[in-house]
Structures are given as C-alpha cells and as structure tokens.
Amino acid sequence: MLFDLTKEQQQLRDTAREFADKILKPNAQGYDEREEYPRENIEKLADLGFLGIIIPEEFGGGGHRAVALAIALEEINRGCASTGVTISVHNSLLANPLLYFGTPEQRQRYLPRLASGEWLGAYAISEPNHGSDAAAIETACRKKGDRYYVTGRKAWITNGSKAHVYIVFATLDAALGAKGICAFIVERTFSGFSVGKKEKKLGIRASDTVELIFEEMEVPAENLLSASGEGFKVAMHTLDGGRIGIATQAIGIAQACLDESKKFAAERKRFGKPLYKSQAFGHRIADMALEIEAARMLTLRAALLKDQEKPHTAEASMAKLYASEAANRAAREAIAIHGGAGARRSQVVERLFRDAKITEIYEGTSEIQRLVIARHALQDRLQ
C-alpha cells in the first residue's frame, strides 16, 4: 500500500511541521513544568485551521479526512503532546461524531463554531468507577417532556474545563447495559453542569483533565445524538477514530525520542569518538526507526480505511496498541542513550517518557486493544 500524499496533505504536513518546530517544541517544556493549558498554541492552531481539519468547507472547515488529520497530528504531537491531545480530542472525539451522527440542525449549530476554534470540544464517557467497561456507566438520564435530565459524574475528561461543547454518555437504565446508553450534545452553559477537580498527572501535564458533575442537568431533546439507546454505538464508532489520533500522538512522541537521541549522540563524545559512531547506538536507533515506520504504516492504513468508509475497528486498535508500545520503548531507549542526563527534569526525553505512558492508557488501555484485536482475529471461531 503506497502513501503518496496529495499536494494539500503535503501542505498541511509542512505547516504543522513548521509550527511544531518554531512554536510547539520551544515552549513544550515550560507548559509541562507549569502544568499550564497551552492556550496560545491552541489559538494559533485555530488561526491556521487545525481545529477544523476534518470539518467540511461548507461549515468553514478544511474539508480534509482522516489521513490528513493523522499526518497533521503526528507533527503537532512531535512538538507538544499536550497540545496534540487537545487538538485530537476536539477533532476526533467531537467534530467526527457530529459529522457522522449529527442531524442537519446539530451540524449547523456546532460545526462552524468548532471549525473556527471559537468553541472547543470534549468527550465524556469515563466515570470514577467505569473506564474500560464503558457499557456499565452509571450517569443516568431520564426524559420528561421535551427535555432529558442527566445526573452523575465523569472522570478524566480531556479539555473538560476549557471546552464549550461535550458529547456526554448516560444510561436510561443501567440494567440494559450497552442498549440503555444515550449520547447527548451538551453545552457548558446548560443548567446543572459543573466542572469538578483538576487531575495532576504523570504525563501530558499541560493538557486539561478534569471531572465533570451533572446535577439534574437539563438537555433539550433535540440535543440527543443518534437515537435513544444508540449511544454506545456512537461511543465505539467515535473511539475508532480517536484511537487513530492517539496512535499519531504516540508516533510523534517516538519520533521526538529519535530526534533527541540523534542530537545528543552527535554532541556527546565517549571513549574518544562521538556516541553516534558506536555500533550499539546504531542498533538502538535502527530499532526505533523501524518501529516508528511500522507504527506509521499501521496508522495510515487505519486512517485510509476510515476515509474509504470501510470497517477499521481492529486496524485502529492495532495502530494504537503498536504505536503506544513503540513510543514507550523509544522513550526508554532515549532515556538510556542520554545516560544520567536522561533523568534530568529539564530534559526533553524525561517529558517524552512520561507523555508516552499515557498513550497506553487512554481511549482504551493496551489490554482493551488486545481484546478488540483478539475478537477480530477469532471472529470465525467465536460465531
């Protein structure tokens, strides 16, 4: 399978690459150290059109698809993974399901604001007691007249305190499992909505991660996304796209590990010669380069299938699983190559090591990706 980029995709990649080198990379350490939401990065990326990459031009977006998004996200994540996840969630977990499941009215209300970056998006399914077993969520909804009332708590919500619009999942009746779940488009101004505690995290420290609290939150019935009881399908379809986004994040982090290792090895002399001339170093770099390329191929393949509107659930899980584990191996190697300096808080690789770990957790842990892949690989036996 060949990936010859179109002229537009090349332009998008070049713009993202230049922005990552000039703006994101130099500021990433500072934002991480201060655990500060990178507002300026997001505003500048909005001006460059990256908040509306996949939104059709009729709504003010760039009109690109999943392959283009993947290419752009890799570059952004190479510069700053906290900025990368903010953009990934907005595009993959909010704009994407609105495009796929939204009514014409819902698309008209939300997509132009999301495309311009006037509004930021978030996706809320995880709860304090339910992450991997998403069908068991407890946040409850009930319909009365032309409104739904939603009560419960969501945990670990990326962009949670900065977003203006959210996709929130709640159950009509927990006993119904996946069949009882509804998806709602929630605006932060809805009565009964509030933001809870902010998480202090191991990695992607500059991204915004909070709890959300709903107390009899009033949601107009027209803000139901897809049919009543069809929310779990919305959640899983959306995560297929989101996992491609996290795979690109992992590739960006792994590429940054490789770049930093090469830079360090050119400057560092050991036993009378630069580190990069030692064969052991070369082998380490070879493994990193190989795994990055393999992760990129898996990820672009999943994105291409998505663009072709073909099934891509297992492919997205493979991409996410492989890329996130490759990023963690690359980060461990990068720390090792840096020797003692790798443990220094001000070192870029120290941040990359912490950021890489998160890619194995969110949008489905590695164990959950393996379950998805196994279900796909065994489908002829399981029928």
Ligand X SMILES: Cc1cc2nc3c(=O)[nH]c(=O)nc-3n(C[C@H](O)[C@H](O)[C@H](O)COP(=O)(O)OP(=O)(O)OC[C@H]3O[C@@H](n4cnc5c(N)ncnc54)[C@H](O)[C@@H]3O)c2cc1C
Nearest distance from C-beta of residue 370 to ligand X, angstroms: 8
Q: DSSP assignment, residue 364?
A: S
CB of 277 to ligand X, least distance (A): 39
Least Å distance between CB 130 and ligand X? 6
Which of 219/239 has CB closer to ligand X?
Answer: 239
- Separation between Cα atoms, residue 237 and residue 28, nearest integer Å: 32
What is residue 276's three-state secondary structure?
Answer: helix
Q: How far is the CB of 363 from ligand X (least distance, A)?
A: 6
Measured from the CB atom, is 12 or 183 closer to ligand X? 183
Q: CA-to-CA distance for 109 and 223, rounded, in angstroms?
A: 11
Report in angstroms how near the CB of residue 305 gets to ligand X at its nearest. Answer: 23
Tell me if 282 sits within 8 A of 244, measured CB to CB.
no
Residue/partner pairs of 178-181 with CB below 8 Å, 24 or more apart: 178/135, 178/232, 179/229, 179/232, 180/229, 181/135, 181/137, 181/229, 181/231, 181/232, 181/235
Q: How many CB atoms lie within 10 A of CB 135?
A: 18
Give CA–CA dist 22/20, Å, rounded. Answer: 6
Give, for 166, the enclosing helix (H) or strand (E): strand 165-171
Of 45 and 134, which has the nearer Cβ to ligand X? 134
Amino acid at 358: I
Closer to ligand X at the Cβ: 210 or 265?
210
Active site residue 363: yes
Q: Are 299 and 323 in contact (CB under 8 A)?
A: yes
> Both tokens of residue 25?
């990379």
Instruction: Say which of 127, 260, 291, 363 is annotated catalytic.
Output: 363
Residues 6+ apart with CB under 8 A from 195: 160, 161, 210, 211, 212, 213
Q: Which of 50, 57, 56, 89 is nearest to 71 (CA)?
A: 50
Q: What are the beta bridge partners of residue 193? A: 214
Residue type, position 30, single letter? G
**Chain position whose Cβ is nearest to ligand X:** 131
CB of 317 to ligand X, least distance (A): 13
Provide the β-strand partners of residue 152: 214
User: Taking the complex as a whole, how short is the minimal distance between the CB of residue 191 and ligand X, in angstroms?
Assistant: 22
Q: Where are the alpha helices (DSSP H) in the chain?
A: 7-19, 25-34, 39-47, 66-79, 81-88, 96-101, 104-116, 231-267, 279-307, 313-337, 348-359, 366-377, 379-382
Nearer to ligand X, 333 or 355 (CB): 355
3-state DSSP assignment of residue 352: helix
185 DSSP β-pair partners: 167
- Where along the sequence are the contacts to ligand X (CB under 6 A)? 89, 123-126, 131-132, 156-158, 201, 204, 209, 358, 361-365, 367-368, 371
**Which residue's structure tokens are 């036996």?**
381
Closer residue to ligand X (CB): 261 or 313: 313
CB of 196 to ligand X, least distance (A): 14
Based on CB atoms, which residue is closest to ligand X, 228 or 365? Answer: 365
Helix (H, G, I), strand (E, B) or coil at 50: coil
Catalytic residue list = 363
